[in-house]
Structure 1
């Protein structure tokens, strides 16, 4: 039987193969499409999204299943081809409206903004996903439940719709002629991610772009006005936790400072960027400058190499977590998840050149080595083969030594690229 888990297991290796191909093509064309810090940040946010999904996917699926069982007047057959095809079309239509409202309602933008924060546009951007979208996103798909589409159909077509959108996040594929007029394509989606006035809040379609043509939100990419990527309130950080809460925090502050009770509510439901007049006057923000410099703190080659290697190890651990967590009791899965989130947070601060990043990373690597050595097990009480135990202790022990060496280098070279670590 086709399940979302099986589809994702097939897809993940394909993601990284395609990322490698895109990187190679960009290099051959001498285009700067990838920045290591940005790619790590995007993949780290995708990892956090998957971690959150382990604990919340039953939330949306559970609500959908209950509604389909108790509120639908009939049940559509899960073994019918037309149910699957119509289910995919209906899901894509509902996704269009969720996506559109995610750009037009501030509280929904607070979740969706994570996907738009990158100032690069490549296949890692596709994997840059929110950790809070589960809170309200399920509301938009209830019509499918009320029409009787089985839960398994909903789960699979949702994943198909999401996976389709992976390949459109690239600059190395140009216009595709007739395809661009019917489907969401790289050209169409580049315009969606742009902050230029011409492109702002357009092209919401997931698989089909015809929804945008029908409802007046379509714009064509223009070579004379190339897309500039990011958001109009640049994140300026590699901290994945801040990336997930920045807009929520801004709304909370504006709502708190607003004098009118109606304005306190409007902050949450008005379009992104709207602020109560009294709050904007007392706490002004700088106007958006599309020519602002890309956020790209300079790191020395050793530090860049360390962050890439550490993140590569974390990705492997993340894959292990996703496979193991569903089988673990909650009291074991939660600490494992928190360890991964902490690790991604520490690496983010390290890439920003912040001194606390060194100490957090030293605590992570040294603590992991000590914990494995003393317990002889991994998270969840999983006993380790002695050879695996030794390899993990050596790996994280070497990591701790490398962090100390980097910190010492920064102290000895105060003018170096990572002097901020000292």
Structure 2
């Protein structure tokens, strides 16, 4: 259900992104960086695609606990159940979010949302693909109390959708609203890497939790917010964005000699290292004045990546609306093709020659597959005209790829 609602809400998201973009241009401040926006949106779409296969954890475990261990049988049609459920969900989200900044295991997933050095509405859609692996644990109290599964799914979606609008620099402080609710000003401080703002403002809808537990800070004009992470990603690769912290922590866990530290490192705060590794590498001091990651790329190459991204975005919507009607194997193959597409687009924006070769393979194999099949991933019938149109698009893309990436290298 969540995938379908988000898919149908996407036009509203993009309308608001367009409005924010025009406001930023008119004000001549906080303008969009197209490659960063594509990267953030790619990560958001990938999180929805992988979420299809992780529903067994994010919803399945909740449903099992609700069915077998719920203390009460709460009604679905009570407004008080919905209101109290949303309040309790937001409280539990605060602790999941806080632990996501205070433990390596959860930070490895959550870091994706913070990697962008820009801050706009596309950042809101920049989500992890692995958050469901462990995040479900925090919401089990709702199941134990007896909040129905459909209520849980709906309030989780409400909490998520609320947080879209707060990812903007075009809205200033809002007076009393900032003192009660999570607002753009409050959340900007949360995304900051300045020492002053680190590990603050974890609330989803209510900022009251932060005030209650001592993690609130107000955005200060004297200290402009700098966005990103203390270990900048400096890549448009969406796969590496999801794996970078897992890889770094796993590497330290492998090299440390103490068996206790091999486990402990996953539960410690980001930046913590075992004593035997603490001085093994020279750690560079973080520079707030660092240059932003923005590899130079000709306009023609940006337009090529943008066109391929838009097409992949439309096909991702098709996947999210139809995956339940096809076999698990076909859905997995379709999902892999989409994720590989976003991965290659990211590589083309850096740009790296390897990804030009991979893009040739993707386009060629896609066209070749249609020559031996009358359906899209053996699940969606295609007319001869459709097959010809897709093949022609692949051919034109190959010629364009050669023209702007090979001939001008």
For this structure pair, what is the TM-score category when the shorter chain's length is used for normalisation? over 0.9
Q: Report if aligned partners of 2:326, 2:379 keep a CA contact under 8 Å in 1.
A: no
TM-score, normalisation: structure 1 = 0.95
- Residue 297 of structure 1 aligns to a residue whose secondary structure is coil
**Aligned CA distance change for structure 1 residues 5 and 376 (closer, same or farther; 3 Å):** same
Q: Residue in 1 aligned with 2:369?
A: 371
**Aligned CA distance change for structure 1 residues 62 and 180 (closer, same or farther; 3 Å):** same
Candidates 269, 287, 290, aligned match of 2:288? 290
Give how far 1:225 is off.
0.7
Moved more, 55-64 or 305-314: 55-64
Candidates 52, 61, 64, aligned match of 2:62? 64
Alignment of 1:226-241 (within 5 A): 226-241=224-239
Q: How far apart are the structure 1 equivalents of 2:57 and 2:104?
A: 22
Alignment of 1:331-346 (within 5 A): 331-346=329-344
Alignment of 1:338-357 (within 5 A): 338-357=336-355
Gaps of 5+ in 1: 411-418
Q: Report if aligned partners of 1:194, 1:229 keep a CA contact under 8 Å in 2.
A: yes
Candidates 241, 246, 249, aligned match of 1:248? 246
- Residue 279 of structure 1 aligns to a residue whose secondary structure is coil
Give how far 1:5 is off.
4.8
Give how far 1:6 is off.
5.2
Q: How far apart are the structure 2 equivalents of 1:314 and 1:133?
A: 23
- Residue 278 of structure 2 aligns to a residue whose secondary structure is helix
Q: Residue in 2 aligned with 1:14?
A: 12
Alignment of 1:216-235 (within 5 A): 216-235=214-233
Q: Is it true that 1:258 corresponds to 2:287 in the alignment?
A: no
Give how far 1:7 is off.
3.2
Give how far 1:41 is off.
0.6
Q: Deviations over 1:82-130 (max 9, x none)?
A: 0001000000000000000000011100000000000000111001100
Q: How far apart are the structure 2 equivalents of 1:4 and 1:79?
A: 20
Q: Deviations over 1:187-206 (max 9, x none)?
A: 00000000001111100000
- Residue 196 of structure 2 aligns to a residue whose secondary structure is coil
- Residue 165 of structure 2 aligns to a residue whose secondary structure is coil
Q: How far apart are the structure 2 equivalents of 1:9 and 1:249?
A: 31
Q: How far apart are the structure 2 equivalents of 1:376 and 1:39?
A: 35
Give how far 1:325 is off.
1.1
Moved more, 9-18 or 290-299: 9-18
Q: Report if aligned partners of 1:336, 1:380 keep a CA contact under 8 Å in 2.
A: no
Q: Is it true that 1:154 corresponds to 2:152 in the alignment?
A: yes
Q: Report if aligned partners of 2:3, 2:321 keep a CA contact under 8 Å in 1.
A: no
Q: Report if aligned partners of 1:33, 1:121 keep a CA contact under 8 Å in 2.
A: no
Q: How far apart are the structure 2 equivalents of 1:364 and 1:6?
A: 27
Moved more, 71-80 or 275-284: 275-284
Q: How far apart are the structure 2 equivalents of 1:257 and 1:135?
A: 25
Q: Which runs of 4+ in 1 moved over 3 A?
A: 3-7
Q: How far apart are the structure 2 equivalents of 1:173 and 1:216?
A: 25
Give how far 1:397 is off.
1.5
Q: Residue in 2 aligned with 1:306?
A: 304
Q: Residue in 2 aligned with 1:359?
A: 357
- Residue 407 of structure 2 aligns to a residue whose secondary structure is helix
Q: How far apart are the structure 2 equivalents of 1:256 and 1:373?
A: 47
Higher relative contact order (CA 8 A, sep 6+): 2
Gaps of 5+ in 2: none
What is the root-mean-square deviation of aligned Cα atoms in Å?
1.2
Give how far 1:4 is off.
3.5
Q: Residue in 2 aligned with 1:315?
A: 313
Q: How far apart are the structure 2 equivalents of 1:347 and 1:6?
A: 25
Give how far 1:32 is off.
3.6
Q: Residue in 1 aligned with 2:123?
A: 125
- Residue 54 of structure 2 aligns to a residue whose secondary structure is helix
Q: How far apart are the structure 1 equivalents of 2:292 and 2:241?
A: 16
Q: How far apart are the structure 1 equivalents of 2:108 and 2:152?
A: 25
Q: Deviations over 1:140-176 (max 9, x none)?
A: 0011011010011000000100000000000111111
